[in-house]
């Protein structure tokens, strides 16, 4: 009887201990639901153009994010917007499972949408986008507004200077990042190819609208042309004509901008035998093909997109292009792994291989119309740039004759970025 009572009490104690142990262990929670893919399909896994000063591609996060991409133009424009769109294939390759929401023709005044760019971005966030990319300077104010109103969403503005603490337009937005390629180098190479090829000494520059970015790209093209004209050809820089015509936006808007087809035709009809394009679309090379078919010796250097020379072997000297993929992978992974920092990032060529898709943000694909001799000179010029040649070294005067960089003075990033005028020796409007 006594032993039974002891056994009974021991049994009660054992049950109590087990009950306490069960209370100390929390029940497992359900895994978060990953949003389903949006109706808009992500781009097919195509080869991306080359990458940057080498942002290191980190390991993919445990849960791949949904990305929102706002394109200022069409995804197949063979220019700026397509370069961004195709970079998403690279992102999906490096971060498997990444989903993409994208919209085309997102710019101020566009009739393609009933909502503003910031409202469109908010709609993407509501659908599950954790990172939203605005891909145009035209979207700047909307990118800022969206970032301010949605601090939980990571915002990348391709171009822009909002996150540049030393810049003129800094705003403290922890969720905002600016990324831009050092296209000054690509434009300089384009200018060099044009100067080496022209038979008339007259180079046309087909520009978009006028702002800090477009002035410095036009000026960089001129500096590259002037350098190669003088050094490799031994010609007087004063004999080189370099004219800039602005159409008023990144691409043609009938009734709003100048028609880039007409501008290109005007160049070719007035003795300018090479056009360097800095707009998002292909009118320069398209018109060059027409003039060539009529027996005229003309050439073009398109812009933005690695494949812009395709189908234009007779006239395309090459294309300077952006490779956004590695920078986007780095930024997106930082958003997911907790290492994100608001930053202004200027990323440049990998001088060991400017067309390396994993390491070079700015590349130059030579065109079939570039002669073998001039191709070798372009290689030499690229080697000089990679070896430290800085074309933004004084003396450099502004278009109105005002000194900008003194003799031997090397321009800072701020001086180059915020170029207030075109340069002495260039023809065209500065404002």
Instruction: Mark which of 347, 381, 404 sits at the end of a domain.
Output: 347
Residue 399 has pLDDT above 90, yes or no: yes
Convert the pLDDT of each residue in 137-152 to its tens digit.
999 999 999 999 999 9
**Averaged pLDDT score across all residues of the chain:** 89
Residue 315 has pLDDT above 60, yes or no: yes
Name, in order, each residue with C-beta under 8 angstroms of 352's C-beta and a sequence gap of 6 or more: 359, 386
Same domain membership, residue 142 and residue 271: no
Residue 33 has pLDDT above 60, yes or no: no
Same domain membership, residue 229 and residue 83: no
Q: What is the span of the domain harbouring residue 87? A: 66-183+325-347
Same domain membership, residue 388 and residue 306: yes
Same domain membership, residue 368 and residue 220: yes
Same domain membership, residue 192 and residue 174: no
Task: Count the domains in the chain.
Answer: 2
Asked, for residue 134, whether it belongs to a domain, the answer is yes
Report how far residue 49's alpha carbon sits from residue 213's, in angstroms, rounded to the nearest whole number. 22
| Cα 16 to the center of its chain, rounded Å | 66
Q: What is the mean pLDDT of residues 359-384?
A: 98
Half-sphere exposure of 394 (CA within 13 A, CB side): 16
Residue 50 has pLDDT above 80, yes or no: no
Contacts of 263-269 with CB under 8 Å at 24 or more apart are 263/206, 264/204, 264/206, 264/288, 267/204, 267/206, 267/243, 268/296, 268/298
Q: By 3-state DSSP, what share of the chain in percent is helix, strand and coil, each rounded to 5? A: 35, 15, 50
Same domain membership, residue 252 and residue 373: yes
CATH number at residue 94: 3.40.50.2300
Encoding tokens for residue 156? 């990348």
Asked, for residue 353, whether it belongs to a domain, the answer is no
Asked, for residue 95, whether it belongs to a domain, the answer is yes
Q: What is the mean pLDDT of residues 334-352?
A: 97
pLDDT of amino acid 225: 98
Encoding tokens for residue 251? 């691409």
Asked, for residue 40, whether it belongs to a domain, the answer is no
Q: For residue 378, is the peptide bond before it cis, meaning its omega torsion is within 30 degrees of 0?
A: no
Residue 320, judged by CB atoms within 10 A of its CB (0-12, 13-18, 19+), counts as buried
Q: How far is CA 46 from CA 49, 312, 324, 418, in A?
A: 10, 21, 14, 35
pLDDT of amino acid 63: 63
pLDDT of amino acid 40: 42
Burial code of 150-165, b = ≥16 C-beta within 10 A, e = fewer? beebbbbbbbbbbbbe
Percent of the chain residues topping a pLDDT of 70: 85
Same domain membership, residue 250 and residue 165: no
Asked, for residue 25, whether it belongs to a domain, the answer is no
Convert the pLDDT of each residue in 257-300 to its tens digit.
999 999 999 999 999 999 999 999 999 999 999 999 999 999 99
pTM of the model: 0.85
Same domain membership, residue 134 and residue 195: no
Same domain membership, residue 329 and residue 307: no
pLDDT of amino acid 114: 95
Same domain membership, residue 402 and residue 269: yes
Asked, for residue 13, whether it belongs to a domain, the answer is no
Name, in order, each residue with C-beta under 8 angstroms of 61's C-beta and a sequence gap of 6 or more: 95, 333, 336, 337
Asked, for residue 31, whether it belongs to a domain, the answer is no
Q: What is the mean pLDDT of residues 25-47?
A: 36
Convert the pLDDT of each residue in 62-88 to its tens digit.
467 899 999 999 999 999 999 999 999
Q: What is the mean pLDDT of residues 376-399?
A: 98
Q: Is residue 115 helix, strand or coil?
A: coil
Same domain membership, residue 271 and residue 222: yes
Asked, for residue 60, whether it belongs to a domain, the answer is no
Residue 39 has pLDDT above 50, yes or no: no
Same domain membership, residue 216 and residue 134: no
Residue 60 has pLDDT above 60, yes or no: no
| Cα 421 to the center of its chain, rounded Å | 23
When pLDDT is cut at 50, 70 and 90, the band that residue 31 belongs to is very low
pLDDT of amino acid 64: 76
């Amino acid at each position: 009887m006594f032993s039974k009572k002891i056994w009974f009490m021991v049994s009660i104690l054992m049950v109590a201990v087990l009950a306490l142990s069960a209370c100390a262990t929390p029940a497992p929670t359900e895994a978060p639901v990953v949003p389903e893919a949006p109706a808009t399909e992500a781009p097919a896994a195509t080869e991306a153009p080359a990458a940057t000063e080498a942002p290191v591609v980190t390991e993919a996060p445990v849960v791949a994010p949904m990305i929102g991409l706002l394109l200022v133009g069409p995804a197949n424009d063979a220019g700026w917007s397509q370069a961004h769109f195709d970079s998403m294939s690279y992102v999906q390759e490096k971060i498997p499972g990444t989903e993409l929401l994208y919209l085309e023709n997102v710019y101020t005044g566009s009739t393609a949408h009933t909502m503003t760019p910031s409202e469109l971005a908010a709609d993407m966030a509501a659908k599950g986008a954790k990172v939203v990319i605005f891909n145009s300077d035209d979207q700047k104010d909307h990118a800022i507004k969206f970032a301010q109103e949605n601090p939980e969403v990571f915002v990348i503005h391709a171009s822009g200077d909002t996150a540049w603490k030393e810049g003129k337009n800094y705003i403290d937005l922890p969720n905002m990042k600016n990324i831009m390629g050092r296209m000054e180098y690509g434009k300089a190479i384009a200018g060099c190819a044009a100067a080496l090829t022209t038979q008339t000494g007259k180079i046309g520059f087909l520009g978009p609208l006028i702002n800090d970015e477009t002035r410095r790209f036009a000026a960089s093209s001129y500096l590259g042309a002037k350098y190669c004209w003088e050094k490799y050809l031994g010609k007087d820089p004063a004999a080189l004509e370099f004219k800039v015509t602005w159409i008023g936006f990144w691409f043609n808007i009938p009734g709003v901008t100048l028609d880039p087809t007409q501008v290109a035709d005007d160049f070719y009809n007035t003795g300018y035998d090479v056009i360097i394009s800095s707009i998002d679309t292909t009118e320069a090379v398209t018109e060059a093909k027409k003039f060539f078919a009529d027996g005229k010796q003309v050439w073009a250097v398109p812009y933005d997109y690695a494949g812009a020379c395709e189908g234009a072997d007779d006239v395309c000297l090459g294309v300077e292009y952006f490779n956004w993929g590695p920078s986007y992978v780095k930024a997106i992974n930082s958003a997911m792994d907790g290492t994100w920092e608001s930053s202004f990032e200027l990323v440049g060529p990998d001088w060991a291989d400017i067309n390396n898709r994993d390491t070079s943000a700015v590349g130059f694909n030579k065109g079939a119309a570039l002669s073998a001799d001039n191709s070798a000179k372009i290689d030499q010029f690229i080697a000089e740039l990679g070896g430290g040649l800085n074309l933004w070294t004084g003396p450099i005067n502004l278009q109105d004759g005002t000194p900008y960089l003194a003799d031997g003075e090397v321009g800072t990033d701020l001086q180059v970025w915020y170029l207030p005028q075109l340069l002495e020796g260039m023809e065209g409007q500065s404002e």
